[in-house]
Amino acid sequence: MNLVVVSNRVSRGKPNEPMTGGLAAALLPVVEKTGAIWVGSSGRVRDGNLKEPFAEVEALGAGALAMLDLPAAHYGGYYEGFANSALWPAMHSRADLIRASREDYASYREVNAFMARALLRFRKPDSVFWVQDYHFLALGAELRDLGVTQPIGFFLHTPWPARAVIAGVPNHRELIEAMLSYDLIGFQTDEDCENFLSYVQHDLDFEVRDGVINSSFGRTRAAVFPIGIDPGKFAQQATKAMTHPDVTRLRRSLNGEKLAIGVDRLDYSKGLVNRIKAFDKMWTLHPNLKRSVSLLQIATPSRGAIEAYGNLQSEVAKLVTDVNGVHGEVDWTPIRYLNKGFGQGVLAGLYRTAQVGVVTPLQDGMNLVAKEYVAAQNPADPGVLVLSKFAGAANELDAALLVNPHDIDGMARTLATALAMPLTERRMRWEAMMEKLNSGTIQQWFADFIEALQDTHNAGNAALPEPPTLWPRRTADFAARYH
Ligand SMILES: O=P(O)(O)OC[C@H]1O[C@H](O[C@H]2O[C@H](CO)[C@@H](O)[C@H](O)[C@H]2O)[C@H](O)[C@@H](O)[C@@H]1O
Ligand SMILES: O=c1ccn([C@@H]2O[C@H](COP(=O)(O)OP(=O)(O)O)[C@@H](O)[C@H]2O)c(=O)[nH]1
CA distances from 157 to 73, 135, 208, 219, 414 (A): 27, 11, 22, 22, 28
The residues, any chain, with a CB within 8 Å of residue 292's CB and separated by 6 or more, are: 257, 258
CA angle 350, 356, 360 (to 5 degrees): 100
Cβ of 67 closer than 6 Å to ligand 2, yes or no, is: no
pLDDT (mean) for 264-275: 98
Cα of 16 vs centre of ligand 2, distance in Å, is 14
Decide if pLDDT at 223 tops 50.
yes
133, 264, 364, 457: which one is catalytic?
Answer: 364
Cα of 397 vs centre of ligand 1, distance in Å, is 19
Which carries the bigger pLDDT value, residue 460 or residue 157?
157
Q: Assess contact for 126 and 2: CB atoms under 8 A.
A: yes
Cβ of 25 closer than 6 Å to ligand 2, yes or no, is: yes
Give the per-residue pLDDT at 284.
Answer: 98
Cα of 339 vs centre of ligand 1, distance in Å, is 18
pLDDT category, 51, cuts 50, 70, 90?
Answer: low
Q: What percent of the chain has pLDDT over 90?
A: 92
Cα of 27 vs centre of ligand 1, distance in Å, is 11
Report pLDDT digits (tens) over 321-330: 999 999 999 9
Give the per-residue pLDDT at 49.
Answer: 57
**DSSP letter (8 states) at residue 391:** B
What are the φ/ψ torsions at residue 265 (nearest 5 degrees)? -70, 150
Ligand 2 atom closest to residue 25's alpha carbon, by position in its atom list: 20
Cβ of 265 closer than 6 Å to ligand 2, yes or no, is: yes
Q: What percent of the chain has pLDDT over 70?
A: 94
What are the φ/ψ torsions at residue 20 (nearest 5 degrees)? -95, 85
CA–CA dist 373, 434 (Å, integer): 11
Give the per-residue pLDDT at 432.
Answer: 98
Cα of 370 vs centre of ligand 2, distance in Å, is 10
Which residues, judged by CB distance below 6 Å to any ligand atom, belong to the binding site of ligand 1?
A: 9, 20-24, 26, 133, 157-158, 227, 302-303, 364-368
The residues, any chain, with a CB within 8 Å of residue 412's CB and separated by 6 or more, are: 278, 279, 281, 282, 285
pLDDT (mean) for 292-305: 98
Which of helix, strand or coil describes residue 69?
strand
CA distances from 24 to 7, 21, 115, 481 (A): 9, 6, 18, 31
Asked if 364 is an active-site residue, the reply is yes
CA–CA dist 312, 308 (Å, integer): 6
The H-or-E segment that residue 90 falls in is helix 88-91
Ligand 1 atom closest to residue 392's alpha carbon, by position in its atom list: 19
Ligand 2 atom closest to residue 364's alpha carbon, by position in its atom list: 18
Pocket test for ligand 1, best of 23, 300, 395 (most atoms within 8 A of CB): 23
HEC secondary structure over 397-464? CCCCEEECCCCHHHHHHHHHHHHHCCHHHHHHHHHHHHHHHHHCCHHHHHHHHHHHHHHHHHHHHCCC
- Give ipTM to 2 decimals: 0.99
Decide if pLDDT at 274 tops 50.
yes
Report pLDDT digits (tens) over 461-476: 444 444 444 433 333 3
Give the per-residue pLDDT at 196.
Answer: 98
Helix 272-285 vs helix 307-327: angle between axes, to the nearest 10 degrees? 10
Q: What is the pTM of this model?
A: 0.95
What sign for the dihedral angle of Cα 403, 405, 406, 410?
positive
pLDDT (mean) for 310-336: 98
Cα of 271 vs centre of ligand 2, distance in Å, is 15
pLDDT (mean) for 103-127: 97
pLDDT (mean) for 449-470: 71
Decide if pLDDT at 11 tops 50.
yes
Cα of 25 vs centre of ligand 2, distance in Å, is 7
User: Pick from 457, 411, 450: which is nearest to 144 by CA?
Assistant: 457
Ligand 1 atom closest to residue 26's alpha carbon, by position in its atom list: 14
**DSSP letter (8 states) at residue 136:** G
Pocket test for ligand 1, best of 9, 70, 157 (most atoms within 8 A of CB): 157
CA–CA dist 167, 204 (Å, integer): 12
Q: Assess contact for 446 and 34: CB atoms under 8 A.
A: yes
CA–CA dist 457, 450 (Å, integer): 11
In single-letter form, the type of residue at position 440 comes to: G
Cβ of 341 closer than 6 Å to ligand 2, yes or no, is: yes
Asked if 157 is an active-site residue, the reply is yes
Pocket test for ligand 2, best of 246, 296, 339, 369 (most atoms within 8 A of CB): 369
The H-or-E segment that residue 31 falls in is helix 22-34
Q: Assess contact for 302 and 266: CB atoms under 8 A.
A: yes
Give the per-residue pLDDT at 58.
Answer: 97
Give the per-residue pLDDT at 477.
Answer: 42
157, 172, 244, 327: which one is catalytic?
Answer: 157
